[in-house]
Homo-oligomer: A and B are copies of this chain.
Amino acid sequence: MEFKRGLYVGRFQPFHNGHLDAIKYVLQNIDELIVVIGSAQYSHNNHNPFTAGERIVMIRQALLEANVNLDKLWIVPVPDVHLHMLWVSAVEGYTPKFTTVYSNEPLTRRLFMEAGYKVNDLPLFDRKVYISTLIRENMIKNKNWTTLVPKAVATFIDEIDGVNRLKDLAQSDRIC
């Protein structure tokens, strides 16, 4: 059987249980998986509170905690080029060769399909609940968020004073 390497893209702001489930699911069907940390150059804004470096730590610690075999994974930050006609090429330039893309995001799917890739669906894993926007809002409003992310992620966000960073960002009138 042919060796198969897949690609999974997210911003992981933060990395949550839905992301972890998706990676575990995909790894059952594939030899290796590239996890692209998108919009890697951004941090400290409302949509992207965490740096690429912080997100790499979250992902790796969550995968270790979940006993996912890191040898089958490539975790690669990719900065956003904002010119969507260039985006697939940028991802290709930052990553090992891949043949299959896993995504439910309509634009991601379309860009890869227009570039000739096969794009697979992901099962939904309670997408309503495990959604980064909601988790960020819960952090700001002192609602529950720690059960929506892997324990290792909650611990790490705590260590870097992440919730207060989000609260400061929410009150900022700077234009990002």
Contact = CB atoms under 8 A, between A and B. Distances in A.
Interface string A90-112: 10111111000000011111110
A37 to B, nearest CB: 10
A103 B45 CA distance: 18
Give the contact-size bracket for chain A: 35 or more
Interface in A15-60: 39-45, 47, 51-54, 56-57, 60
Given A47-B175, A173-B105, A77 B74 contact: no
A96 B95 CA distance: 20
B169 A107 contact: yes
A138 interface: no
Copies in the complex: 6
Interface in A40-91: 40-45, 47, 51-54, 56-57, 60, 70-71, 74, 76-77, 79, 81-86, 88-90
Nearest to A41: B83
Interface string A149-173: 0000000000000000101110111
Contacts of A60: 74
A81 B74 contact: no
